[in-house]
Amino acid sequence: MLSRSISRYISLQIALLISVILLVFYYMITVVYDWGLDDSVHYFMTLEAESYIEHGTPAASNTSITVYPTYDALPQPIQQVFGNQAWEEEELYFQSQNDQFFYLMPYYNSNAGQLLFVLHTNYELSNNEMVGLSVGEIASLLALTIAVLTIGVIRNLGWSLIKPINALHEWNRQNSATKQTFTSADPIPDFHFNELNEAAKQIRHSMIEINQRNDKEKQFLRVLSHELRTPLAITKASLELIHKTKPQLDPKLANKLNKIERANTNMCATSEVLLWLWSDDLTQFNTQQVDLNEIIKQEIESNQYLAANKSVNVSLFEHEAFIEANPVLVQLLVRNLVRNALQYSADGNINIDFQPDSGLTLINPIASQDSSINEPDDYGYGIGLYLVTTLCEKMNWKCVIQQDTEQFQVYIKKLR
């Protein structure tokens, strides 16, 4: 769903509401006017009819209304306009011709025992000469007045709500940008509405919890860093001492010693970078010019044992590839890529290429599920590709991993 601005949304809703109100109001005022006009005409025509029945003559005060004892007594032009039809008592009939408007009402004459007809004639010219505003102008003026008042009221109501919401948004944005450490005693601005003030309290409570958890994680990392690095360093020193006696060892023991040394080296490098990544301290990742080709060659040579039982050929680009990056992070990234390719590749070619515009590309064939080469005689980490993607995020590189039935492909772009 697309995000929307609250102020824009409310403005559109107000505009829609006002438009509907104006249309309904304009329609209703014209309809009510017509109703009122018809009722007034009907009322005065009824008075004329009753006066005619009672006195035998119409009232002289209303010259536009004339009473005729029978339909045949009506002027011939009027009879032609209305025609001869089934008349209903006290029903108001309306017709117009040229600039004249005619109202005709049948009324029962109790003295004569038949219908008499009351005719009201109105001239459009007389309306145009009337002093004041027409019905349409009055309706438009009233609609405009209502629109202005409605806009003022709704705008004041909307702005009274939008302004505190914007203030809450800005307060939250500034706190996030400055990474301010909150305590429960810190004051919260007044956002004028209980719901917004409650939301601000929840935000502060969440920030306090996040800060507390971050502090616990940092403390945990400091302790873990010491607890991991110390035994790994002792193990590495002990292996170096044992390595000096390697010529005297039995070949089987020497092979085991090689595995232990490789595992210790990989574990030291992996744990070091994992601790760096989890600490989220990017200032320690100093960058420099790194020869990517040389690092890949070293990692292929160091991990060649993973493909000892396979017929694998590694095709590596020959040109120089210097990039600006942290050498330790690049080495760990390349190591996991190479180890993953050698360990899980089928017989065939592993292609590694680098181009300044497209980045680093690694493609290796996929071993079948029942192949024994899928179980190399080495200890795996299970986090190789996770480390690759995490390292790429830290270095602002784009990592794309694709796999089909025959190939496994990794693209790392924007290496500079």
What is the DSSP code (8-state) at residue 212?
A: H
| Residue 290 burial (CB count, 10 A) | 21
State residue 380's pLDDT score: 39
State residue 163's pLDDT score: 76
Closest CA to 174 of 189, 162, 163: 189
| Residue 50 burial (CB count, 10 A) | 13
pLDDT higher than threshold 70 for residue 372: no
User: Which sequence spans correspond to the domains of the chain?
Assistant: 6-146, 181-282, 285-413
Answer with the residue of higher pLDDT: 45 or 186: 45
Q: What is the mean pLDDT of residues 380-392?
A: 69
| Residue 131 burial (CB count, 10 A) | 4
The band of 309, judged by pLDDT with boundaries at 50, 70 and 90, is confident
State residue 284's pLDDT score: 61
Cα angle for residues 345, 348, 350 (degrees, 5° grid): 65
State residue 371's pLDDT score: 47
Cβ neighbours for 258, distance < 8 A, ≥ 6 positions apart: none
State residue 383's pLDDT score: 62
State residue 279's pLDDT score: 60
Cβ neighbours for 207, distance < 8 A, ≥ 6 positions apart: 175, 180, 182
Residue 244 CB-density burial (10 A; 0-12 exposed, 13-18 middle, 19+ buried): exposed
| Best mean pLDDT range from 96-105, 205-214, 404-413 | 96-105
139 neighbors 29 (Cβ within 8 angstroms) = yes
Q: How far is residue 305's CA from residue 69's CA, in Å, rounded to a whole number?
A: 124
- Secondary structure E strands in 16-158: 65-68, 93-97, 100-109, 114-123
| Best mean pLDDT range from 121-130, 131-140, 261-270 | 261-270
Amino acid type, 66: T
Q: How far is residue 412's CA from residue 398's CA, in Å, rounded to a whole number?
A: 6
Q: What is the mean pLDDT of residues 2-31?
A: 71
Handedness of CA 32, 37, 41, 44 (dihedral sign): positive
| Best mean pLDDT range from 30-39, 135-144, 377-386 | 30-39
Q: How far is residue 249's CA from residue 143's CA, in Å, rounded to a whole number?
A: 103
Task: Please give the helix or strand (H or E) that residue 225 lies within, else none.
Answer: helix 194-243
Q: Which two tokens stand for residue 193?
A: 């509405």
pLDDT higher than threshold 70 for residue 242: yes
State residue 17's pLDDT score: 75
Strand 348-355 vs strand 407-413: parallel, antiparallel, or unpaired?
unpaired
pLDDT higher than threshold 50 for residue 23: yes
State residue 355's pLDDT score: 85
Q: What is the mean pLDDT of residues 99-115?
A: 86
Closest CA to 258 of 275, 246, 272, 241: 246
pLDDT higher than threshold 80 for residue 9: no
Handedness of CA 55, 60, 62, 66 (dihedral sign): positive
Question: Does residue 292 sit in helix, strand or coil?
Answer: helix
Closest CA to 26 of 104, 137, 119: 137
Cα angle for residues 162, 167, 170 (degrees, 5° grid): 125
Q: Mean pLDDT, the chain, as a whole number?
A: 76
Residue 387 CB-density burial (10 A; 0-12 exposed, 13-18 middle, 19+ buried): buried
Q: How far is residue 354's CA from residue 416's CA, in Å, rounded to a whole number?
A: 11
Least reliable range by pLDDT among 9-13, 212-216, 396-400: 9-13
pLDDT higher than threshold 50 for residue 24: yes
pLDDT higher than threshold 70 for residue 157: no
Instruction: Please spell the DSSP secondary structure of 143-180, one letter per residue.
Output: HHHHHHHHHHHHHHHHHHHHHHHHHHHHHHHHHHHHTP
Closest CA to 300 of 350, 236, 230, 357: 350
| Best CATH choice for the domain 285-413 from the list 3.40.50.720, 3.40.350.10, 2.60.320.10, 3.30.565.10 | 3.30.565.10
State residue 129's pLDDT score: 39
State residue 106's pLDDT score: 92
pLDDT higher than threshold 60 for residue 370: no
pTM, full prediction = 0.46
Beta bridge partners of 312: 348
387 neighbors 374 (Cβ within 8 angstroms) = no
Q: What is the mean pLDDT of residues 357-385?
A: 62
